[in-house]
Amino acid sequence: MKLIIDTDPGVDDTLAIALAVAIPEVELLGLTAIFGNTFVKQSSRNARYLLDFLGYDCPVAEGAALPYGASDYTPSANVHGDEGLGALTTVPEIGKNIDETAAAFLVRMAAKNAGELVVCAIGPLTNIADALALDPAFATNVKSLVIMGGAYAVHGNITPHAEANIYHDAAAADVVFATKMPIVMVGLDATMQTLLTPEDFEAMAVTSPKVGGFVRDISNFYLGFYRSVGVFDGCPMHDSTALLACLFPERFTFEKSGIKVALSGDDIGDTVADASRPEVDVAVGIDAKWAVEYAMAQVATLD
């Protein structure tokens, strides 16, 4: 599978990127960076750092710094840490971004690999909307767009209505969902079922001291956030669940629905069923035990 991950690394993004590197069936063609968990320049820096750490060589293209219509942005430092990688206070600048915007890179790679490229978007959808604006053929050139975002029949995680990635640029998300393209929405309905416990992170560190140990260490901050909000003693495998949907759709349960994004009011960012919109595949269930065990086993292959 030819894959690009659109990402805002991010603790849970880190595990998803590691999985993409580990899974033999994946050919990771590049990472495109977006604001979200961090400012965009931190996102691209973290992406380059993680690729170097994982020993994988592919381009990083930097994308949008702000949501549509916004003049500033505040990252989710309370969830992912000031630098995006948990308690790490210094992340080295390794290498350089390519001299091409994320949208231009996505458009070029989709045209070059027409009908083959899967894009896994695990941050706000601004880069995807920008790619569609740059070249409407992007919608038909991609094999599929798999989105980690949305809350279809469950409550949100940043407001009672909205999931964070959609909330952070509701306008861009609405543009994407209004476009007729092959979309898979892997939102909180599925990702909240894939829970990694502190014991799981410790087990990854034992079987994979370098990569699993790093994931364990940066995840301590993330686990602390979930404890602080009184949800549970563990964290959902949000972004990795979306990555797994790219490869193993048979492990998921889907419903078909058009999706409209609320653009104002208290429910801004809500992903609402809308029969007038193009149908997308909405993940409403997953074989969660398999997902967690598979992710842990793949991490073990990286050391």
Structure tokens at 220: 């301590």
Alpha-helical segments (H) within 113-237: 126-134, 138-141, 164-168, 170-177, 188-191, 198-207, 211-228
Nearest CA to 66 out of 148, 127, 150, 140 is that of: 127
Nearest CA to 153 out of 36, 277, 263, 257 is that of: 257
Q: What single DSSP character describes residue 287?
A: -
CA distances from 39 to 42, 64, 163, 237 (A): 5, 10, 19, 22
Nearest CA to 282 out of 118, 156, 153 is that of: 153
Structure tokens at 232: 């549970």
Q: Which residues contact 297 (CB under 8 A, 6 or more apart)?
A: none
Candidate list 80, 161, 168, 238, residue with the active-site label: 238
CA 239 to chain centre: 4
Is 238 marked active-site?
Answer: yes
Q: Which residues contact 104 (CB under 8 A, 6 or more apart)?
A: 61, 134
Residues taking part in catalysis: 238
